[in-house]
Amino acid sequence: MPELVFFSGTMDCGKSTLALQIEHNRSARGLQGMIFTRDDRAGAGKLSSRLGLVTEAVEATPALDLYAFVVDLMSRGGKTDYVIVDEAQFLVPDQIDQLARIVDELNLDVFAFGITTDFRTKLFPGSQRLIELADRVETLQVEAMCWCGARATHNARTVGGEMVVDGEQVVVGDVGGAAEEVGYEVLCRRHHRRRMTSAASRAAALSPDVLPVTSH
């Protein structure tokens, strides 16, 4: 039976790489997929991974009806055997309902990939709706790691190298961006709560206040 599957995880855990792998495996068997994405790091209409792999995709703007788009393609003789959606957290809830309709009415598998929570630890509306509707929710097994070595569970936004917890929910950036720009870092819960990024930890280690005191 066709399914709506939500593959979730933090940033930097291989979601886009898995999406590209599924596309490769299925296309190698002669199947043809429809790929949607939103606000990819490589630009509009791209699905890319941090490993350097990239493929063309349809930019899922908020006004795009995903179900109608697939139906129109198929009615004009286009072939679609499955649907892949990357950066699914950025979709509006109505678009998640459209993905469920693709599964139920067109009998196509839909594989959605996305982050569950934002930099404030709040659910993205698209991810929340996926959790509500998906046939399966799969947590990716490739675990991202906090700078301390613990499993990373939270996404942190940095501006000028410092962690922030206020601002718009969607601001495009990337892990490992320039310090003066908007960037993101994955942290364990403890260090997210303390707003202790890798840069902040290095600064603390260099502070005279934390150096050992020796007597002469």
Residues with a catalytic annotation lie at 87
CA–CA distance, 168 with 104 (Å, rounded to integer): 34
What contacts 8, CB < 8 A, 6 or more positions away? Answer: 15, 113, 114, 115, 116, 127, 130, 137, 138, 139, 140
Can you state the percent helix, strand and coil of the chain, rounding each to 5? 30, 25, 45
Beta bridge partners of residue 164, listed in sequence order: 157
